[in-house]
Amino acid sequence: MRAAHPASALLSRSFSISKPRPILASNLNCAATKSSSLTFSRSIQLPALPSVLNWRTMDKSSISTYLRQSHDRVFERNAEWAAQQRAKDPDYFTKLASGQSPEYLWIGCSDSRIPAEAITGLEPGEAFIHRNIANLVCNVDLNAMSVIEYAIRHLQVKHIVVCGHYGCGGVKAAMHPDDLGLLNPWLRNIRDVYRQHEAELDTFDDEARRYNRLVELNVQEQCRNVIKTAALQQSFEEKGFPIVHGWVFGLHDGILKDLEIGFEDTLADVKKIYNLTGKN
Amino acid sequence: MADQPPPPDTGDAFEYALSSNNAWAGYKGHQNPDFFPKLASGQAPQIRLQPGDVFVHRNIANIVSPTDINTSAVIEYAVAHLKVKHVVLAGHTSCGGAAAALGDSRVGGVLDTWLTPLKAIKAAHGEELSSISDAKERATRIAELNVDAGVKILLANHVIQEAIQDRGLKVKGVIFDIGSGRLRDLGVGNTGDAGAPEGTVRGKHAMLVFRGTNAAMKVT
């Protein structure tokens, strides 16, 4: 993982299609103006791309064509994006390849509707990113712990953002009495957050409000889990950074809400039991 | 686009596109006279792969570790519940994790444990990797081998296996070249005839390179 190439940016596309692949050759004809390729890139160039693929009613060769097209689309857009970046700055990729020193570590949800860079306007190189189901930070998860350790100790990020979102499928699943197999151990962490805040959550009669509040409390607890790490505590003690923020993204309005977790107070509170700085 | 009528089943799709486009352009120009001048000025926003298109997991060195519950939960949710059509494992050049795995010193903390699969790849392909004198190229090669290994683990995942069988899920490995901004298809996975750019098939000690109608075996 690397901050230098946000997945969404790599796959961006311009209005004009410069080098269509053979499968998209038909688009050459309707790309006479910038606007035409914009208008018809989805409806004509890729006729087999409905918003929801009903693969149950499609024959095998149509599915196969669809898969080929939706695959090739990514390379097509990537080529356009790379050409655009180079056109804007011929040294863009030389600089990008020379190294990274991102300011932010972003711990967000895997949900496809919350592309971290797109909603924050962060450019390649500005944010180191980890995304998993329901933006969880579990102390036994070496995957997330490696990310946090690398971001703090090696990249020396200044801010760590745990960003959840209303409408989170992981949080929703953890509120239902279903056995989800391999997802159970992962979602258990959210059920634990519920248990920790049971008294407050049970005051909500409205399930939607309880759900929204659990999303917020989950972010707050994951921030706390970041603050429990040795890397965070030691770095903050020695250098005064990074600081941890808890945010929630609203799918209905596209706005990030700062939960104002109170980093320093939380740190002091956490250190009563989880102090790993070697100092009292 | 949802609000566009579908192209007619018979007749020329290009004619249809052009005439629809004329109508659309006329409408847009009437609605907002600045629309096209703005587009032409180069200030037009890019259209990206839209929010809602890609479910994303990102970790250090894009390692797919079969017992990692974090990655496993993402795969389970995306494949079994969201029913994604493609699983793409993307590595990249100049990867810090690859460089660390190629070195002999400890990184410290939990990172060494996380990077163990890369260390194993280094050991398994020691001969090939040590034959590459350029450090950057060596890091790129181990990143490729890492994607290849990760794709194999993905293909061994039972949720993925079921989805391949039931609905033709495609698994693929790519490398992002930070020096050029381009994605390179490694031709690994179950995408069949996808193939790598220039038709390069990499083996452990040899590369079979297809260019035009000729094929040549290059032993490295």
Question: What angle separates helix A263-274 from helix A230-239, to the nearest 10 degrees?
Answer: 120
Q: Which residues pair with B215 in a beta bridge?
A: B210
Amino acid at B144: E
Please check whether residue B30 lies inside any domain of the structure: no
Report how far residue B48's alpha carbon sits from residue A11's, in angstroms, rounded to the nearest whole number. Answer: 6
Q: What is the pLDDT of residue A9?
A: 56
Please check whether residue A48 lies inside any domain of the structure: yes
Q: What is the pLDDT of residue B182?
A: 87
CB B185, CB B196: distance < 8 Å: yes
- Give, for B114, the enclosing helix (H) or strand (E): helix B111-114
CB A214, CB A221: distance < 8 Å: no
Q: How many CB atoms lie within 10 A of CB B17?
A: 25
Report how far residue A119's alpha carbon sits from residue B27's, in angstroms, rounded to the nearest whole number. Answer: 30
Residues A125 and A242 both lie in one domain: yes
Report how far residue B165's alpha carbon sits from residue A149's, in angstroms, rounded to the nearest whole number. Answer: 39
Query: Is 70 exceeded by the pLDDT of residue A52?
Result: no
Burial A264-276 (b: 16+ CB within 10 A, else e): eebbeebbeebbe
A-B CB pairs within 8 A amount to 245
- Chain B CB contacts of A186 below 8 Å: 69-70, 72-73
Query: Is 80 exceeded by the pLDDT of residue B195?
Result: no
Band of the pLDDT at A66, cuts 50, 70, 90? Answer: confident
Report how far residue A156's alpha carbon sits from residue A236's, in angstroms, rounded to the nearest whole number. Answer: 11
Q: Higher-confidence residue: A237 or A50?
A: A237
Sign of the CA dihedral A181, A183, A185, A188?
negative
Containing domain of residue A44, as a range?
Answer: 7-94
Query: Is 60 exceeded by the pLDDT of residue B57?
Result: yes
Contact A75 B185 (CB under 8 A): yes
Residues A145 and A80 both lie in one domain: no
Query: Is 90 exceeded by the pLDDT of residue B36?
Result: no
Last residue of a domain, one of A72, A94, A116: A94
Q: Which positions 217-276 of A are in contact with B (Cβ < 8 Å)?
A: 230-231
**pLDDT tens column, A131-149:** 999 999 999 999 999 999 9
3-class secondary-structure state, position A57:
coil
Report how far residue A55's alpha carbon sits from residue A268's, in angstroms, rounded to the nearest whole number. Answer: 54
**pLDDT tens column, B148-173:** 999 999 999 999 999 999 999 999 99
Residues A83 and A216 both lie in one domain: no
Please check whether residue A280 lies inside any domain of the structure: no
Does the active-site annotation cover A138? Answer: no
Please check whether residue A64 lies inside any domain of the structure: yes
Contact A11 B61 (CB under 8 A): no
Contact A1 B194 (CB under 8 A): no
DSSP string for residues in B39-103: HHTT-PPPBPSPTTS----B-GGG---TT-HHHHHHHIIIIIIS--SEEEEEEESS-HHHHHHHS
Please check whether residue B19 lies inside any domain of the structure: no
Give the residue among A243, A213, A247 at the shortest CA–CA distance from A226: A243
Amino acid at B80: A
Q: Strands B206-211 and B200-202: what pairing?
A: antiparallel
Please check whether residue B7 lies inside any domain of the structure: no
Residues A21 and A151 both lie in one domain: no
Phi, psi (degrees; rounded to nearest 5) at A176: -110, 150
Could you give the angle at the alpha carbon of A52 between the alpha carbons of A50 and A56, nearest 5°?
100
| Nearest-CA distance B218 → chain A (Å) | 27
Does the active-site annotation cover A223? Answer: no
**pLDDT tens column, A11-30:** 543 333 233 333 332 332 33
The DSSP call for residue B125 is: T
Residues A85 and A199 both lie in one domain: no
Please check whether residue A126 lies inside any domain of the structure: yes
Does the active-site annotation cover A168? Answer: yes
- The mean pLDDT value for B74-84 works out to 95
CATH of the domain at A228: 3.40.1050.10
Report how far residue A46's alpha carbon sits from residue A72's, in angstroms, rounded to the nearest whole number. Answer: 11
Please check whether residue A147 lies inside any domain of the structure: yes
Does the active-site annotation cover A109? Answer: yes
Q: Best mutation site among B12, B21, B22 for testing chain A: the one with the most A CBs within 10 Å?
A: B21
Residues A238 and A124 both lie in one domain: yes
Q: How far apart are the first and last CA of chain A?
A: 35
Q: How many CB atoms lie within 10 A of CB A43?
A: 20
Residues A57 and A149 both lie in one domain: no
How many domains does the structure of chain A reveal? 2
Give the residue among A248, A27, A7, A31 at the shortest CA–CA distance from A112: A7
- Chain B CB contacts of A110 below 8 Å: 55-57, 74, 77-78
Query: Is 80 exceeded by the pLDDT of residue A109?
Result: yes
Q: How many CB atoms lie within 10 A of CB B174?
A: 26
How many domains does the structure of chain B reveal? 1
Residues A69 and A172 both lie in one domain: no
Mean pLDDT of chain B: 75
Containing domain of residue B159, as a range?
Answer: 55-219
Please check whether residue B12 lies inside any domain of the structure: no
Please check whether residue A279 lies inside any domain of the structure: no
- Chain B CB contacts of A33 below 8 Å: 21, 25
Please check whether residue B18 lies inside any domain of the structure: no
Burial B47-68 (b: 16+ CB within 10 A, else e): ebbebebbbbbbbbbbbbbeeb
Please check whether residue B63 lies inside any domain of the structure: yes
Contact B78 A130 (CB under 8 A): no
Residues A139 and A241 both lie in one domain: yes
Q: Strands A159-165 and A243-249: what pairing?
A: parallel
Does the active-site annotation cover A113? Answer: yes
Residue located via tokens 């444990």: B113
Q: Which positions 170-189 of A are in contact with B (Cβ < 8 Å)?
A: 170, 180-183, 185-187
**pLDDT tens column, A233-248:** 999 999 999 999 999 9
Q: Which positions 190-219 of A are in contact with B (Cβ < 8 Å)?
A: none
What number of residues does chain A have? 280
CB B219, CB B212: distance < 8 Å: no
Please check whether residue B185 lies inside any domain of the structure: yes
Residues A136 and A155 both lie in one domain: yes
CATH of the domain at B78: 3.40.1050.10
Please check whether residue B48 lies inside any domain of the structure: no
Residues A106 and A75 both lie in one domain: no
Last residue of a domain, one of A94, A118, A151: A94
Last residue of a domain, one of A67, A94, A121: A94
Task: Please state, in angstroms and as integers, the Cα–Cα distance from residue B133 to each residue in A129, A147, B4, B127, B143, following that order.
Answer: 32, 30, 55, 12, 16
Residues A46 and A135 both lie in one domain: no
The pair of structure tokens assigned to A29 is 């004809």
**pLDDT tens column, A84-94:** 999 999 999 98
